[in-house]
Structure 1
C-alpha cells in the first residue's frame, strides 16, 4: 500500500526541491510527511528541506508529555548537504536549568551548543530531551515518534511562541553522546536504530537474513534509489509503502531503501 503524503509549507523551507519533489507555485516547502498506517500509528517519516535555521528546540519523553500524548524521539539521515551545512545538537559543556533559561532569553544558547558540519550519509539519533536545531542547506529524512510536541527555546527573533518553562523542564543540559552519531555509505546495509519506539534500517539491494529478522512485523519502505513493489504496486523514490510483512516487499529493482518498523 502506498501511503498518502502531506506537503507542509514552512518559512525555512525551499522553493527548489530536489527531484523527484516539486514545490507548488511560489511556496516554500519544508516538510513532506507520509500518513502513518493503522498498524504503525506511532511512527512518522518525513523529508525535510531547509533554507534557513530551524528553531532551537527540545521534545519530551513519553513520561514527560502531556496526558494522552506521546513524547518524541527522532533520528536524522542526511541525504544532501550544501558546503558548511550544520546541525546543532547538545551543549559544549554541562549547563543547568537557570543558565539555559538565561541563554535562551539572550540568544547566547546558539553559541553554547555544538554545531556539527555534516555531509550526505551522516546519521544522528536524538533521544527525547536533546536540545537541537537544523541549519540551512540540508535535505534530511527524519523518523520520529508520531508526535507534534515541540518546545521552542530560541527562534532567532521570529515572531513565534516560545515554550521556555516547558522546554527547560525536559531539556538535557549536557553534551550529545558521540555514540548517537555515525555515517552510513549509500551502498551499505545497516540497522541504524533498534530503540524503544521504532526500528530503522538502510538496505542496499535486498535485505539479508539478519537485517530482515530485525523487522518481523509490519514495515514501511522508503526507496531512495531504485524502487520496491508491494502487492503489485510500485513504490518509487519520493514515496513510501506499507506492508504487513517484510517478505511482501519485492526488492528486485531496489538499490537503496529505508525500512521502518515497530520496536521489538
Structure 2
C-alpha cells in the first residue's frame, strides 16, 4: 500500500481562448498565453474534490451539470457536479449568469437555447471580490467576462452546454433538458463576504468549506478532523515542513496537522 499523498498539490495551468494574459496576484500568465484555469491535481485521499482558479476575458457557455443520480441514469459517470464560487477579482460591470427571471419549461428552454434568447432569460448578477455563490446541480449558469474566482467542486468534468454564443462546439440539449431546473436562483445561495473573518462558505451534500481567519478554533479543528484541502489566501501555512503561500493548495490529513499563522487567511475544504 502506497503512503498517503498528503502535501502540496501539483498545479495544472490550462490555456483557454476565453482566458486572460494578465492575472490577479500572485499568478502570472506565461508570455503569449491566455490562461483560463489553474487546477490543483486531485490525490487519492481527497479525490472527490477539485479546486481551481478561473479567469475569464469572455463569457463562458450557458451550461448545466447533473447530480450523481442523474449522471448515472444518463449513462455518464458515477459522479455529477455540484460547485461553488468565490469571486476574488472582478472588472467593472462583470457578471455571473445564474438561474432564470421566472419559471421556464423544458421546451421553452430548449427553444431559447436554440435561438440564443436563453442568454437574456438568465439573471446576470453584478459581482465584486468577496461575492460567494453556491451552485447546486441542475442550476443553469454562465460565468461572464472579467471575472476571477475560486471554484470548489466535485471532481467531475461533466458539463452539458446549452448555448455557446455561436462558437463551433457541440451542444448537449437532450441531456441538458433532462437535468436543468427552469427556475430562479435562490437568494439564500449567494451573499457578499466581509474581507476578514471566519465564515462557513458551503455545507452541501458533497463538500463543506470554510474561510478561516487566523487560527481555527476547536470547533473547526473538530470539523476538519480528516482528509481535507487547504488554500492559503493571505499569509502562509505550514504542512509537514512545507510552507504554502497564496496561489497554492495542499491535501492535509486534518486541520490539526496544519500550522496556521494569526495574521493569515485560508480556505478549508472537506468531502461531506
TM-score normalised by L of structure 1: 0.97
Report what 1:170 is aligned to.
179
Report what 1:132 is aligned to.
141
Q: Choose 19-28 or 85-94, whichever is displaced more.
A: 19-28
The residue correspondences of 1:110-189 to structure 2 (distance < 5 A) are: 110-189=119-198
Report what 1:51 is aligned to.
57
TM-score normalised by L of structure 2: 0.94
Q: What runs of 5+ residues in structure 1 fail to find an aligned partner?
A: none
Match 1:62 to one of 68, 75, 80: 68
- What per-residue deviation string (whole Å, max 9, x for no partner) do you get for residues 241-262 of structure 1? 1110110100026521111111
Q: What runs of 5+ residues in structure 2 fail to find an aligned partner?
A: 1-6
Q: Secondary structure at the match of 1:39?
A: helix
Q: Determine if the alignment matches structure 1 residue 38 to structure 2 residue 47.
A: no
Q: What is the number of equivalent residue pairs in this alignment?
A: 263
- Give the Cα separation in 2 of the matches to 1:9 and 1:122: 25
Q: Secondary structure at the match of 2:170?
A: coil
- Give the Cα separation in 2 of the matches to 1:202 and 1:105: 40
**1:43/1:74 CA distance change after superposition, 3 Å:** same
Q: Decide whether the 8 Å contact of 2:46 with 2:251 is kept in 1.
A: no
Q: Choose 167-176 or 246-255, whichever is displaced more.
A: 246-255
- Give the Cα separation in 2 of the matches to 1:197 and 1:80: 26
Q: Choose 86-95 or 61-70, whichever is displaced more.
A: 61-70
Q: Choose 63-72 or 38-47, whichever is displaced more.
A: 63-72
Report what 1:88 is aligned to.
97
- Give the Cα separation in 1 of the matches to 2:263 and 2:144: 31
- What per-residue deviation string (whole Å, max 9, x for no partner) do you get for residues 43-95 of structure 1? 00000001000000000010011354310000000001111110000000000
Q: Choose 214-223 or 46-55, whichever is displaced more.
A: 214-223
The residue correspondences of 1:94-113 to structure 2 (distance < 5 A) are: 94-113=103-122
